Amino acid sequence: MVNSSSSAAAPDAESPAAAAPVAWSGQAPAFSPLYQQIKSLILQSLQQGEWKPGEVIPSEFDLAARYKVSQGTVRKAIDELAADHLLVRRQGRGTFVATHAEQHVQYRFLRLQPDNGTVDSEGPAQRDFVDCKRQRASAEVARLLGLRSGDPVLQARRLLRFASVPTILEDIWLPGGPFKGLTAERLSHHDGPMYALFEAEFGVRMVRADEKLRAVLPDAAQARLLDIAPATPLLSVERIAYTYHDVPMELRRGLYRTDTHHYRNQLS
């Protein structure tokens, strides 16, 4: 006879949430692998600013003790975060929070490459801010940035030149709340990528982006700024950049000249 008062099997001692469902499929609870749960906890700490961009995070041993899991579980979570470019492993030094200020990731979201040479050999772009103003979000901008129509946004237009040739014209929208105090002067005087400024001064780190590409013709003002004929075809790139937990933080619409450059993306 089985004693009905006997205890059930103990939950996995390694799991911080062994019996907790983390998603709902609509029919039955779904469970996340343990390393994914640890990945989410590390992401939460990154989002909350416990470890800033460029700082070293605790060792795998310390994180394993903190979350009461094995080092192997922590290692697998960190491997995925490194593959997502959120963390950077440095041999003999530890694991660091990735930052847009690092040279090798400065052009992570810019896929335009020169036909001759490389981005590094071409040198940094010359950036001119044509306009920068605060306004109310249109219905379309609000939808793409997860805002309400009429919420405050910062809109900027900038021109990027390579070897003094105007090559990219961008219109950029940022939600007003997280970027309070950002001005055209601060943007113009920042010596480095915009995303490095965002993370250093506003605590906003862009971690991924979605893009849409199409071929377009410029209007008269765009053709004048890019110094091209109105009939010149351009590559239109619309990008939405996200911070942690898929929160949209930037809408960017760029017009790219492709007479001396090409759009390159590596698929794997």
Using only C-alpha atoms, the chain has a radius of gyration, in whole angstroms, of 23
Q: Beta 112-114 vs 261-263: how paired, if at all?
A: antiparallel
Q: Is the pTM of this model over 0.75?
A: no
Question: Mind listing the pLDDT tens digit for each residue in 197-245?
Answer: 898 889 898 888 999 999 999 999 999 999 999 999 999 999 999 998 8
Distances (CA, A) of 134 to 61, 178, 251: 47, 13, 14
* pLDDT at res. 13: 47
Tens-digit pLDDT string for the chain (268 aa): 434 333 333 434 455 544 333 443 444 445 678 999 999 899 889 888 888 888 899 999 999 999 999 999 999 999 999 888 889 898 888 999 887 665 444 455 666 778 886 666 667 778 888 888 999 999 999 999 999 999 999 999 999 998 899 999 999 999 999 998 898 888 888 877 888 889 888 989 888 899 999 999 999 999 999 999 999 999 999 999 999 889 999 999 999 999 888 888 766 5
Maximum pairwise Cα distance, the chain: 90
* pLDDT at res. 207: 87
Domains and CATH numbers, the chain: 23-97 (1.10.10.10), 103-263 (3.40.1410.10)
231-236's contacts with Cβ under 8 Å and 24+ in sequence apart are: 232/257, 232/259, 233/258, 234/258, 235/263
Burial class of 116 by CB neighbour count within 10 A (0 to 12, 13 to 18, 19+): exposed
The angle, 0 to 180 degrees and rounded to 10, between the axes of the packed helices 71-83 and 60-67 is 110
Dihedral pair phi/psi, residue 27, rounded to 5°: -125, -40
Both structure tokens of 177: 């709340």
CB 123 within 8 A of CB 164: no
Query: What's the number of CA atoms in the CB half-sphere (13 Å) around residue 212?
Result: 7
* pLDDT at res. 203: 86
CB 42 within 8 A of CB 78: yes
